[in-house]
């Protein structure tokens, strides 16, 4: 009798420990990018585990999934992608080679959000930098997740409220920034700057990944001086010496913005947008190589001149 009770107790504990299919806490979601992962976390809270593949400054154009990435993809209940070919190219290739994963994939319908960038006369893919667009994207994601599982709406509604508050903050900042003329180093912030009414007058990067020519930089210098443009908007992760050079030659200040929450320490998507707004409202004077010298440049030159002068006197003696 005792052995029978022990057996039944062990059986009960075993059955109790087996997860029931569809339990929210065991639901696994994988996103292709960090910004998408952060938004999904806001939507589902602790009802699912959420992992992003591309973190930090990983380049999506030549990314190859690691064994760890493949493990995440294999155990995921849903894989959410941006819907942008150039960002998700690695995933498209992976699924083509592993068609069994296709049933897990949910792609954002990016085409209905993408717009032609008038500065470049081409489609700008960076739709996620508009919180207004991401509010609609969040609804898409929530609707899909509830088609494959069950997620309560309270957490989702709280996240929508946070986005609405962020949009209200942007509208307030627009009253300060609207009409501001700026030169940008990269077109990534098109959707974000459009919300704020900032007038992008020129771009430093003529072509993706190609350094601007000296002639192009001079054209920007001439335009900035002619139009009294005193602001340069640069990518925090990608800006180079051209930004500093242009700022020094024109006396402009620089606002450094981020395109990905993982580029801002401890920041969420919403936190990243708030930080970007603060940077626009409080641009900084860029630090030049000369600023890093242990002594002011003029002092260093003066000391060198004295040394040379003393040496000449010794030679004459």
Distance of CA 300 to the CA centre of its chain: 41
Provide the 10 A C-beta neighbour count for residue 190: 22
Q: What is the mean pLDDT of residues 171-188?
A: 96
The superfamily (CATH) of domain 178-292 is: Nitrogenase molybdenum iron protein domain (3.40.50.1980)
State the pLDDT at residue 19. 44
Tokens of 132: 């207004």
d(CA 79, CA 98): 14
CATH of 20-152, one of 3.40.50.1980, 1.10.3720.10, 3.40.50.261, 3.40.50.720: 3.40.50.1980
Min mean pLDDT across 172-186, 244-258, 288-302 is at 288-302
Tens-place pLDDT, residues 105-153: 999 999 999 999 999 899 999 999 999 999 999 999 999 999 998 899 9
The percent of residues above 70 in pLDDT, for the chain, comes to: 81
Tokens of 187: 């077109």
- Domain segments of the chain as ranges: 20-152, 178-292
C-alpha distances out from residue 35 to 28, 30, 45, 297, Å: 17, 12, 15, 43
Q: Which residue has the tokens 């860029």?
A: 286
d(CA 265, CA 151): 29
Tokens of 161: 């409220």
Query: Average pLDDT over the chain, rounded to whole?
Result: 85
Tell whether pTM > 0.85: no
Domains 20-152 and 178-292 share a fold: yes
Tell me which residue of 243, 315, 317, 312 sits closest to 284, measured CA to CA: 243
């Amino acid at each position: 009798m005792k052995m029978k009770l022990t057996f039944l107790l062990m059986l009960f504990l075993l059955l109790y420990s087996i997860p029931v299919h569809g339990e929210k806490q065991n639901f696994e979601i994988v996103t292709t990018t960090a910004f998408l992962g952060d938004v999904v976390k806001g939507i589902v809270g602790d009802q699912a585990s959420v992992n992003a593949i591309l973190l930090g400054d990983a380049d999506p154009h030549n990314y190859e999934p690691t064994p760890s990435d493949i493990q995440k993809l294999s155990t995921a209940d849903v894989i959410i992608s941006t819907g942008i070919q150039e960002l998700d190219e690695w995933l498209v290739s992976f699924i083509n080679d592993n068609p069994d994963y296709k049933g897990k994939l949910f792609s954002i319908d990016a085409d209905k959000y993408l717009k032609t960038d008038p500065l470049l006369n081409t489609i700008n893919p960076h739709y996620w930098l508009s919180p207004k667009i991401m509010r609609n994207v969040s609804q898409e994601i929530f609707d899909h997740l509830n088609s494959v599982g069950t997620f309560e709406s309270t957490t989702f509604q709280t996240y929508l409220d946070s986005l609405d508050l962020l949009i209200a903050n942007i509208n307030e900042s627009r009253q300060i920034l609207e009409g501001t003329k700026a030169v940008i180093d990269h077109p990534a912030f098109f959707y974000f700057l459009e919300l704020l009414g900032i007038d992008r007058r020129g771009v430093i990067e003529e072509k993706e990944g190609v350094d601007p020519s000296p002639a192009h930089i001079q054209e920007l210098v001439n335009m900035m001086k002619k139009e009294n443009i005193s602001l340069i908007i640069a990518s925090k992760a990608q800006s180079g010496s051209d930004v500093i050079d242009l700022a020094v030659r024109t006396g402009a200040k620089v606002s450094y913005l981020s395109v990905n929450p993982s580029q801002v320490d401890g920041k969420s998507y919403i936190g990243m947008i708030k930080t970007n707004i603060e940077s626009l409202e409080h641009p900084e004077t860029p630090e030049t190589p000369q600023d890093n010298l242990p002594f002011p440049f003029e002092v260093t030159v003066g000391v060198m001149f004295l040394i040379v002068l003393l040496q000449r006197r010794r030679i004459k003696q």
